[in-house]
A and B are shown apart, each in its own frame.
Chain A
Amino acid sequence: DQQVKQNSPSLSVQEGRISILNCDYTNSMFDYFLWYKKYPAEGPTFLISISSIKDKNEDGRFTVFLNKSAKHLSLHIVPSQPGDSAVYFCAAKGTYKYIFGTGTRLKVLA
């Protein structure tokens, strides 16, 4: 049973517009969440994280929002650039391990 869900397998956005990637989780004990980005033939690379004591964390063009009551987080990319085209994985931190979603493939159209 998946504890972290990314229900949109793919998303296409025009360059310069906002990309919103969504993630839901089931375990209310999770207290730390991460987004990783993955290009083809490469490993996932860390993008941004958020602790459950916050509802927003921002790093340049990337912002992650956390809604604990809804058990939902989202990643906003503004403005989107063609180089952002990749697969984005949402993850929750277990004791040490990460519990990942299935990923969302983002395509930013020039």
Chain B
Amino acid sequence: EAGVTQFPSHSVIEKGQTVTLRCDPISGHDNLYWYRRVMGKEIKFLLHFVKESKQDESGMPNNRFLAERTGGTYSTLKVQPAELEDSGVYFCASSQVEGDPYNEQFFGPGTRLTVL
């Protein structure tokens, strides 16, 4: 079974540009999460989808960040316009069953974003 995949693995952009990160969760997983780790700090929650609906977006830093999960499969996270402080590693995770918060979350390898 394929794990969580993320694309691209690395992205280097200039301040003010737009970047879109993609996450493909494990097939059949209803829950999809985005997290971010800024260098040396904690892995911080951004938002949670249940199927195509945003369940919790309390961790989104500001309105420059837009996440979508059309059709309840893959998800995209767009940063527009990117700022220097957006640099970090963006992780996507998925877990299986809607309504069971104790399901283990499986993480993707992350996208390293560098904003110059």
Tell me the complex Cα distance, A110–B77, Å.
Answer: 42
9-residue interface stretch from B12-20, B38-46, B66-74, B79-87: B38-46
Q: Which of B40, B42, B56 contacts A97 (CB 8 A)?
A: B56
Query: How many A residues have CB within 8 A of the partner chain?
Result: 25
Interface size class of B (residues with CB under 8 A): 20 to 34
CB atoms of A43 and B107 under 8 A apart: yes
CB atoms of A97 and B33 under 8 A apart: yes
Q: Which residues of B contact A100 (CB under 8 A)?
A: 35, 42-44
A41 close to chain B: CB less than 8 A: yes
Q: Which residues of B contact A44 (CB under 8 A)?
A: 43, 91, 107
- Minimum Cβ distance to chain B for residue A22 (Å): 15
Q: Which residues of B contact A102 (CB under 8 A)?
A: 40-42
| Contact A43:B33 (CB < 8 A) given known A96-B101, A97-B59, A98-B45 | no
Q: 17 A–B contact pairs at CB < 8 A?
A: A2-B42, A42-B109, A43-B93, A43-B108, A44-B107, A46-B106, A49-B104, A93-B101, A95-B56, A96-B33, A96-B48, A97-B45, A97-B56, A97-B59, A100-B35, A100-B44, A103-B42
CB within 8 Å of A: which residues of B? 4, 31, 33, 35, 40-45, 48, 55-56, 59, 91, 93, 101-102, 104-110
CB-based closest 7 A-B pairs:
A43-B107, A100-B43, A97-B45, A102-B42, A100-B42, A44-B107, A43-B109
